[in-house]
């Protein structure tokens, strides 16, 4: 123990020695001093940890990152914890504000959340339809961020449908761009032009799979609607059902059991197997729906 902090009086000893049974318990004042010293050491270590975290945050901001991205790192505290520190620690808040100001000088001020606006949404879709990517459009200061655009798509089905139409129009523009690249390529640019065309081809297949995809969507009539692949033949598969008679012959009951529960189908098979139901006692074929007519789409 440190003699400057604890004296004989603090240890509960009296003149002439300590009480019998060993040294006495520390006094209340000695315990208070010990607790205060431990608390000061803990608070100092805790504050240094806060400073280190805020310094890492400031470096991320000055490099062009955001608070949300920085707080996603495993070694960083949550965003709510950082905001609490900045609200209660003036020194940390000053460091954060200085880093934010330096980042604004280099990258410009941060954009706040943009609520849904019909004019902004229409302009966004117009720029997408002209062939520009979403990242390129959202980099402009008068446009919302990609996260905001995806939120609009989730919250507003009408905007999501318009967004998909703009993407299809974008695929048409990129298709024309690929044709122009192929036509204008010089002999020494063939490899570069081929790489660009392949990249555009893959992109438009994802943007408009119904038009440029390798697999066309099937229409309700068995074809692919308008466009390439229309009028394709459709293959229909039908599970045929039979009942076995006592003499081992098979009696087709496909049309007879159509729409019946499985329990009734099994009961009918048992009756045919036992001879209680025969071809003569079952409803005539003329009353059934003809088998080949079932293969035609309804």
Residue whose structure tokens are 């002209």: 130
Whole-number pLDDT of residue 158: 92
Domain ranges of the chain: 28-107, 118-212, 242-292
In the CATH scheme, what is the homologous superfamily, with its name and number, of domain 118-212?
A: Homeodomain-like (1.10.10.60)
Rounded-to-integer distance, Cα 2 and Cα 4, Å: 5
Rounded-to-integer distance, Cα 271 and Cα 257, Å: 13
Whole-number pLDDT of residue 94: 92
Whole-number pLDDT of residue 13: 47
For 235, other C-beta atoms within 10 Å of its C-beta total: 7
**Residue 230: closest CA among 211, 209, 207:** 211
Whole-number pLDDT of residue 11: 42
Rounded-to-integer distance, Cα 36 and Cα 245, Å: 97
Rounded-to-integer distance, Cα 148 and Cα 65, Å: 17
pLDDT along the chain (298 residues), means of 10: 44 46 65 64 70 90 82 85 88 91 79 78 91 85 84 90 91 89 86 88 84 60 48 69 82 78 86 83 51 41
Whole-number pLDDT of residue 280: 75
- Cβ neighbors of 135 (< 8 A, separation 6 or more) are 146
Whole-number pLDDT of residue 286: 32
Rounded-to-integer distance, Cα 259 and Cα 142, Å: 60
From start to end of the chain, where are the E strands? Answer: 242-244, 250-252
The structure tokens listed for 290 are 């003809």
On the question of a common fold for 28-107 and 118-212, the answer reads: yes
Whole-number pLDDT of residue 44: 58
Inter-helix orientation angle 157-184/118-129, to 10°: 30
What's the CATH number for 28-107?
1.10.10.60
Whole-number pLDDT of residue 288: 38
């Amino acid at each position: 123990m440190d003699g400057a902090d604890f004296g004989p009086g603090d240890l509960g000893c009296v003149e002439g020695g300590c009480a019998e049974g060993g040294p006495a318990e520390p006094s209340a004042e000695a315990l208070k001093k010990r607790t205060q010293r431990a608390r000061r050491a803990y608070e100092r270590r805790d504050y240094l940890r806060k400073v280190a975290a805020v310094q890492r945050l400031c470096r991320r901001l000055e490099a062009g990152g955001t608070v949300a991205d920085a707080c996603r790192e495993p070694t960083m505290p949550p965003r709510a914890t950082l905001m609490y520190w900045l609200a209660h620690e003036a020194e940390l808040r000053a460091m954060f504000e200085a880093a934010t100001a330096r980042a604004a000088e280099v990258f410009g001020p941060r954009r706040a959340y943009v609520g849904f606006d019909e004019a902004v949404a229409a302009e966004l879709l117009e720029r997408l339809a002209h062939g520009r990517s979403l990242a390129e459009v959202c980099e402009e200061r008068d446009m919302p961020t990609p996260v905001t655009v995806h939120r609009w798509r989730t919250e507003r089905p009408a905007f999501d449908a318009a967004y998909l139409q703009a993407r299809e129009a974008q695929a048409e523009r990129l298709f024309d761009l690929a044709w122009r690249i192929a036509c204008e390529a010089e002999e020494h640019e063939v490899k570069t032009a081929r790489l660009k065309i392949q990249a555009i081809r893959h992109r438009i297949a994802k943007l408009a799979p119904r038009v440029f995809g390798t697999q066309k969507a099937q229409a309700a009539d068995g074809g692919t609607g308008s466009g390439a692949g229309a009028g394709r033949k459709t293959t229909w598969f039908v599970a045929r059902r039979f009942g076995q008679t006592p003499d081992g012959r098979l009696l087709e009951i496909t049309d007879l059991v159509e729409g019946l529960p499985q329990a009734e189908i099994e009961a009918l098979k048992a009756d045919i197997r036992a001879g209680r139901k025969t071809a003569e006692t079952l409803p005539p074929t003329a009353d059934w729906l003809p088998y080949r007519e079932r293969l035609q789409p309804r």
